[in-house]
């Protein structure tokens, strides 16, 4: 069974995933790993504001996610730090967030084989960690380990679309992390996972 942690940058997904890794041995935690994809995008000089390049970039990300999903399926219970649902959301919604006039349906058709392939890797259940803007900004400011250069854009343009997208899905549970310590979030995430083990 594949479970997935979802939410905004700086909400605490990776911290919660690390907590699971330490305190919930029944699950295999699969961390996001896009280094090879990012290196190939840079090496090829692809620009996500060009339609043809955007499709090429998303093909790379979708194939990478398919590989991750296939790896996760080897375990009885896996928790993804962002899973296939993330790349599906981003692929179809990023252009809208940028005000680009690319039709979602055209993107869906152009990437139909890849999008169909990642459907097989979709999590059965998703926990969407959420927080207020003030909390997200404070957490970002307190985390010197990551640059999060995309944070302001993500918060203002992608997160509203993301919340709306995931609220429409029946397999998503929302958890507000406002007022919770990292340990408390980890414990709540662990409890959520244990419902499905």
| DSSP state letters, 86-139 | HHHHHHHHHHHHTT----HHHHHHHTHHHHHHHHTT--SEEEEEE--HHHHHHH
| Mean pLDDT (whole number) for 117-140 | 96
Q: Is the pLDDT of residue 7 over 70?
A: yes
Question: In sequence order, what DSSP letters do the residues of 40-93 get, joined into one string?
Answer: HHHHHT--TTSHHHHHHHHHHHHHHHHHHHHHHTTSSSEEEES-HHHHHHHHHH
Measured CA to CA in angstroms, residue 72 lies from 32, 93, 117, 171, 184 at distances of 12, 25, 15, 19, 26
Q: Is the pLDDT of residue 146 over 80?
A: no
Chain mean pLDDT for the chain: 95
| Mean pLDDT (whole number) for 33-41 | 96
| Mean pLDDT (whole number) for 140-154 | 80
- The pLDDT of residue 59 is 98
Q: Is the pLDDT of residue 148 over 70?
A: no
In this structure, of 124-133, 139-148, 177-186, the range with the lowest mean pLDDT score is 139-148
Distance CA 102, CA 107 (A): 7
| Mean pLDDT (whole number) for 160-180 | 97
Q: Which of 105, 96, 107, 85 is nearest to 166 (CA)?
A: 85
Q: Is the pLDDT of residue 187 over 80?
A: yes
Sheet strands side by side (includes 28-30): 28-30, 78-81, 2-7, 125-130, 172-176
Please tell me what DSSP assigns to residue 17.
Answer: H
| Mean pLDDT (whole number) for 103-132 | 97
C-alpha torsion sign, points 174, 177, 180, 183: positive
Bridge-based pairing of strands 78-81 and 2-7 is parallel
- The pLDDT of residue 117 is 97
pLDDT band at 143 (very low <50, low <70, confident <90, very high): confident
Which CATH topology does 2-194 take?
Answer: Rossmann fold (3.40.50)
Q: Is the pLDDT of residue 147 over 80?
A: no
- The pLDDT of residue 171 is 98
pTM, 2 dp: 0.94
pLDDT tens digit sequence for 55-88: 999 999 999 999 999 999 999 999 999 999 999 9
- The pLDDT of residue 105 is 97
Q: Is the pLDDT of residue 145 over 80?
A: no
């Amino acid at each position: 069974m594949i479970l997935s942690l979802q939410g905004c940058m700086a909400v605490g997904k990776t911290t919660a995933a690390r907590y699971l890794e330490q305190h919930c041995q029944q699950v295999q935690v699969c961390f996001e790993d896009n280094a090879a994809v990012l290196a190939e995008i840079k090496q090829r000089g692809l620009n996500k504001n060009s339609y043809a390049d955007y499709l090429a970039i998303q093909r790379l990300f979708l194939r990478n996610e398919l590989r991750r999903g296939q790896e996760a399926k080897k375990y009885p219970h896996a928790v993804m730090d962002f899973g296939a649902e993330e790349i599906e959301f981003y692929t179809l919604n990023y252009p809208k967030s940028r005000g680009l006039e690319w039709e979602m349906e055209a993107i869906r058709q152009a990437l139909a084989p890849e999008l169909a392939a990642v459907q097989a890797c979709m999590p059965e259940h998703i926990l969407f960690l959420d927080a207020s803007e003030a909390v997200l900004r404070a957490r970002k400011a307190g985390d010197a380990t990551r640059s999060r250069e995309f944070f302001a854009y993500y918060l203002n343009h992608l997160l509203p679309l993301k919340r709306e997208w995931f609220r429409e899905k029946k397999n998503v549970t929302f958890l507000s992390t406002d007022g919770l310590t990292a340990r408390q979030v980890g414990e709540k995430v662990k409890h959520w996972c244990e419902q499905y083990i």
